[in-house]
Chain A
Amino acid sequence: MKILLNGELTQTRAKTLAELCTNLGHGLDKIATARNGDFVPVTERAKTLISEDDQIEIVAPRQGG
Chain B
Amino acid sequence: MMLEFYGIGISSRLLIGTALYPSPQILSDAVVASGSKLVTVSVRREAARARAGQGFWELIKQLDVHVLPNTAGCKTVKEAVTTAQMARELFETDWIKLEVIANDDTLQPEVFGLVEAARILNEDGFKVFPYMTEDLGVAEKLVGAGCEVLMPWGAPIGSGQGLANPSAMKTMRAYFPDIPLVVDAGIGAPSHAAFAMEMGYDAILLNTAIAKAGDPVKMGRAFAQAIDAGRLAYESGLMEPRDMASPSTPVAGTPFFNIDSA
Residues of A within 8 Å of B, CB-based: how many? 25
Residues of B within 8 Å of A60, CB to CB, are 43-46, 51-54, 56-57, 90
Tell me whether B72 and A59 are in contact (CB under 8 A). Answer: no
B17 on interface, CB distance cutoff 8 Å: yes
Q: What 1/0 flags go to A11-44 for Cβ under 8 Å of B?
A: 0000000000000111001111110011101100
Tell me whether B53 and A61 are in contact (CB under 8 A). Answer: yes
Q: Which A42-65 residues have a C-beta within 8 angstroms of B?
A: 42, 57-65
CB distance from B141 to the nearest CB of A (A): 24
A7 vs B54: C-alpha distance when bound (angstroms): 21
Binding site for B on A (CB under 8 A): 6-7, 24-26, 29-34, 37-39, 41-42, 57-65
Tell me whether A31 and B53 are in contact (CB under 8 A). Answer: yes
B168 on interface, CB distance cutoff 8 Å: no
| A20 (CB) vs chain B CBs: closest residue | B48
Stretch from B80-88, B216-224, B226-234 at the A interface: B80-88
Tell me whether A64 and B72 are in contact (CB under 8 A). Answer: yes
| B57 (CB) vs chain A CBs: closest residue | A61
